[in-house]
Structure 1
Amino acid sequence: MLKAQIAQRLEAAFSQYGFAEASVSQLKTACDVSLRTLYKHYPSKELMIVAALNHRHQRYLTFLSAPSVNKGEARILAIFERLNDWMSEFAPHGCMSLSALAAFPENEEIKTAVAKHKDDVRILLGEQAMRPDLATALFILHEGVSSVWPIMGYSSIESVNGVIKQIMEQSKNA
């Protein structure tokens, strides 16, 4: 239980301080544990980042899965509305996974955590659309919105909604 609480607090701390700037001392304080306890559960800053990313990954998938709309086009549109809500509330500066990767581009554990997160989101989008063949296209739209949302805000969602409708309609007629 303590390990999960630490991961939750690490996520919040990295979200607040960033990855390169956060010191282990700041992380210890944010987690409200001793340095010994922090290192017992996560023996390096990189493993602390992986824990934060994995915690966020689970929260994000749960968050995206919340719309009560049936699967298909309406579900995907609802998921992109949820993406807007996520960006507004939890990621106003952009994707935390990509920020971690940018800060530690050579770290294999971080690369693996980010790759798993991105692949799981891609698969989720294909499943929710009931169109696994469109998973990659929908994922690229998702990533595009995540990247530009800090600059464009909700207008990025509005733009992508039209593209989603076109893709779904064209693929029906193909």
Structure 2
Amino acid sequence: MTVSKRDALLDTAERLFYTEGFHATGIDRLVNEAGVARMTLYHHFPAKEELVAAVLARRHRRYLAVLRAALDEGPGDSVARLVDAHCAWLAERSAHGCMLVKAMGEYEHHDPAVHINALACKREVIGVIREAAARDGAGDPERLAGRVYLILEGATQALPVTGAERIRADARALLGAMHGREAP
């Protein structure tokens, strides 16, 4: 399957932005590693911030698809399945922390629009967790969503320190403690 030049740019930008930082990744390096001309980049993304926004949006859509697939697996234990899905995402795609949080940090004062969009993505995740909590019959889905969100964010930040092996078990144990039972 042939990758379009736009997708090659997005794939390369995501990898470089994630591992090296948004501001640290120069346009010359990006187009060289993507194997495209500078004009191709500017044809698809007239400004670097537009490329950043597209990378973040695409990555967030993939992450949400993973969470939604976990929700669609059936009734009961929706929140636990979200925790599992999040931990699997971390192990496979986010070993160095959250790309949205990195963007928020780098762009808060440089380009508020990128920061605001990343923040909106985070709020959308809380909404998915709230939906899972409601499906599970939680008495206060909003409150549970906030707590589970903290667990997921903590897991994301702890991954480089504790490793993927412990993240899922620890996150499930915290979830089980919130429900007054041992986690599976």
Is the TM value for this pair above 0.5?
yes
Aligned match of 2:152: 142
| 1:121 lines up with 2:125 in the alignment | yes
1:145: how far off? 0.9
User: Runs of 5+ in structure 1 lacking a partner?
Assistant: none
| 1:54 lines up with 2:46 in the alignment | no
Q: Secondary structure at the match of 1:66?
A: helix
Q: Which has the higher contact order (CA 8 A, sep 6+)?
A: 1
Determine the C-alpha separation between the residues in 1 that align with 2:127 and 2:40.
36
Evaluate the alpha carbon distance shift between residue 109 and residue 7 of structure 1 in structure 2; reply closer, same or farther with a 3 A threshold. farther
Aligned match of 1:166: 177
Q: CA RMSD in A?
A: 2.3
Deviates more, 1:121-130 or 1:10-19: 10-19
TM-score, scaled relative to structure 2: 0.79
TM-score, scaled relative to structure 1: 0.83
User: Runs of 5+ in structure 2 lacking a partner?
Assistant: none
| Contact 1:11/1:55, CA 8 A, preserved across alignment | no
- Decide which of 31, 35, 40 is 1:32's aligned counterpart: 35
Aligned match of 2:86: 83
1:61: how far off? 0.5
| 1:156 lines up with 2:167 in the alignment | yes
| Contact 1:47/1:109, CA 8 A, preserved across alignment | no
Number of residue pairs aligned between Structure 1 and Structure 2: 169
Kindly provide the amino acid, as one letter, of the partner of residue 148 in structure 2: L
1:13: how far off? 3.1
Kindly provide the amino acid, as one letter, of the partner of residue 148 in structure 1: A
1:163: how far off? 2.1
Deviates more, 1:83-92 or 1:154-163: 154-163
| Contact 2:103/2:114, CA 8 A, preserved across alignment | yes
Determine the C-alpha separation between the residues in 1 that align with 2:54 and 2:35.
16
Determine the C-alpha separation between the residues in 1 that align with 2:8 and 2:62.
13
Aligned match of 2:18: 15
